[in-house]
Structure 1
Amino acid sequence: MTFGIHRRTVVIHLKRQGVPLRRDGLPARHIKAAVRLYEEGWSLARIATKFGTTARTVRTRLLEEGVEMRKPWESMKRPG
């Protein structure tokens, strides 16, 4: 609490002022595309950027879908 108020309070004030906030999570409608992109070799960070979320969130959702995460030494070549 750097400013002495809870982050939820900050969010409430930002929403009241119409400040656009980053989206939380990865909506269900994007899961299939995220899985496909990961299988094509995209990094979690790149997928997260595309869908406006975090790499950690993408990883969590892919694991929920049963996707096996690549090991760092198994990284695929980037498309293109």
Structure 2
Amino acid sequence: MKLSAGTKAVKFFGRSPLIFGVSRDRLARRLRSHGVMIRREGPTTEQVLEMVRRYDQGESLARVGARLGFSGGTVRTHLIRAGVRLRDSHGRAR
């Protein structure tokens, strides 16, 4: 089966066994192999390193998230896990 519209496939992901006739895991692997990001999937190590680099260069959490396809809150969580010291809302070191 060819999946031409990844977003449509992700929309129906919860009902995948009924619609596509395959398990959720198999569908997820197939979508990922075609470059489709699955919701609630965290950033890769490379993406976290990119988050750190962009934040260190002065970009806001929201801007970093928008560029990489994550929310600012997700960026914040992963920067903290990576040991990055966050700025306050005015850009000053805390």
Q: What is the TM-score with the length of structure 1 in the denominator?
A: 0.63
Aligned length, in residue pairs:
65
Among residues 62, 69, 79, which one is paired with 1:45 in the alignment? Answer: 62
The answer for unaligned runs of 5 or more in structure 1 is 1-9, 76-80
Contact 1:23–1:53 (CA under 8 A) maintained in structure 2: no
The answer for unaligned runs of 5 or more in structure 2 is 1-11, 21-35
- Percent same amino acid among aligned pairs? 32
Kindly name which structure, 1 or 2, has the bigger radius of gyration based on alpha carbons: 2
Q: 1:51 to 1:23 in 2, by over 3 A?
A: farther
Query: Once superposed, what is the RMSD of the aligned Cα atoms?
Result: 2.7
The runs of 4+ residues in structure 1 deviating greater than 6 Å are none
Q: Which has the higher contact order (CA 8 A, sep 6+)?
A: 1
Take 1:24 and 1:47, find their aligned partners in 2: how far apart are those partners? 17
Q: What is the TM-score with the length of structure 2 in the denominator?
A: 0.55
